[in-house]
Amino acid sequence: MKKTHIILAILAIVLIATLSIGAYLYKVYIKDPIATADTTIQVYITPGMSSDSLCHTLAQQIDPEKAGKIVEFMYNDEYDASTRKGYYELKGSTSIYRAARKLAAGSQTPVTFTFNNLRLLDQLIERIDETLYMSADSIEALLQDEALCAQYGFNTTTIIAMFLPDTYEFYWTVTPQRFMERIHEYYNLFWNEERRNKARRVGLSPIEVSTLASIVEEETAKADEMPIVAGLYINRLRRNIPLQADPTVKYAVGDFSLQRILNKHLNTPSPYNTYLNTGLPPSPIRIPSKTAIDAVLNYRQHNYLYMCAKEDFSGYHNFATTLSEHNRNAQRYHNALNRRGIK
């Protein structure tokens, strides 16, 4: 009888200890949050990242002891280390256990990739390199791959037209190949049947629309003026008159900061110089916005053939149907430049 009491007492002690340990583990690993509820922990895990490096990264944002427990859970034989690379966001209300499971399982959080108001492909490549886990060299190599560009309906010169300024979602570790595929998918969503039909009515391909839109956007930052400018250049294209667009000269010279276009600039030999060549240049001179593209597709019908910046420097333009009228507008603008000492 006494022996039975002893056994029961031991069992009771073991049970109490087990429950206590269980309650402690439940509280520490499952119930307690890793940080305050309004906190977001950002974690970047690169391929081959060591447990010490990850622990250090976490410890900069949460309690070091909790960081250590998360990493301890992660780095065991149950998980494949190759799946861990990526970008993760952990809510402060997340428990140690759930945080470790999310990181170990490779349940990445998408990152937003936003770009707008970019001129050159190099600027786009730099933005990609800053946002996603791919090198500038790797994406540049794809953009210079003739076969790959042709697969999407472009060449290495016109591929810039495939990129439409917007906010996109990617996994941080997206491969360059998959990145290009997704961008092309977005491009096709934008260039739906309605827009393609409008382009056909204008008499331009989608790439040519983007090329003209890039000129329009360089000419004016005013959205309400873009359809007028687009209509002017469409009038010139249909009459086989050189576009004589100053932004194409700036592009040919390689200096968008020019405030005054001189004869030496107008004579710059380049397929992009629309003073020396008729028709559209070979590709967009910037990455045009969707607003500019739609302005071309929905251009304003009128008889204007000439435009000149307004002398009030408002950003708007004076339009003209005859050269004599245009020359008067141009003289007023040049006088305004002289008064301001702009050379």
**Strand blocks (E) in the chain:** 40-45, 86-91, 111-115, 166-170, 306-309, 317-320
Domain that holds residue 148: 112-190
Which of the listed residues 140, 165, 190 is the one where a domain comes to its end?
Answer: 190
pLDDT at position 337 is: 84
293 and 198 within one domain: yes
116 and 159 within one domain: yes
Instruction: Say if CB 210 and CB 284 are below 8 A apart.
Output: yes
pLDDT at position 194 is: 97
Q: Is residue 5 part of a domain?
A: no
Q: Distance between CA 131 and CA 111 in Å, rounded?
A: 8
74 and 157 within one domain: no
Pair type for strands 317-320 and 306-309 = antiparallel
Q: What are 216-271's pLDDT values in tens digits?
A: 999 999 999 999 999 999 999 999 999 999 999 999 999 888 887 888 999 999 99
Q: Is residue 332 part of a domain?
A: no
- Between the alpha carbon of residue 35 and those of residues 27, 52, 84, 254, the distances in Å are 14, 20, 22, 51
Q: Is residue 219 part of a domain?
A: yes
Pair type for strands 306-309 and 166-170 = unpaired
Q: Is residue 149 part of a domain?
A: yes
pLDDT at position 124 is: 94
Query: How many structural domains is the chain composed of?
Result: 3
pLDDT at position 2 is: 59
- Between the alpha carbon of residue 157 and those of residues 65, 277, 311, the distances in Å are 54, 18, 36
Q: What are 155-179's pLDDT values in tens digits?
A: 999 999 999 999 999 999 999 999 9
Token pair belonging to 269: 């030999």
181 and 162 within one domain: yes
Which of the listed residues 149, 172, 190 is the one where a domain comes to its end?
Answer: 190
CA Rg value for the chain: 31
215 and 245 within one domain: yes
202 and 294 within one domain: yes
70 and 134 within one domain: no
131 and 59 within one domain: no
pLDDT at position 70 is: 86
Q: What are 72-84's pLDDT values in tens digits?
A: 877 765 555 556 7
Q: Distance between CA 109 and CA 171 in Å, rounded?
A: 7
pLDDT at position 26 is: 42
Q: Is residue 231 part of a domain?
A: yes
Q: Is residue 62 part of a domain?
A: yes
Pair type for strands 86-91 and 40-45 = antiparallel
Residue 40's DSSP bridge partners are 91
Q: Distance between CA 139 and CA 162 in Å, rounded?
A: 14
Token pair belonging to 177: 């190949």
197 and 185 within one domain: no
Residue 217: which of 69, 341, 118, 107 has the closest Cα? 118
Phi and psi angles of residue 278, each rounded to the nearest 5 degrees, phi first? -85, 165
118 and 99 within one domain: no
253 and 162 within one domain: no
Q: Is residue 40 part of a domain?
A: yes
Q: Distance between CA 34 and CA 311 in Å, rounded?
A: 61
pLDDT at position 27 is: 44
Which parts of the chain have pLDDT scores under 50?
A: 15, 17, 19-29
Q: What's this model's pTM, rounded to 2 decimal places?
A: 0.84
133 and 100 within one domain: no
pLDDT at position 1 is: 56
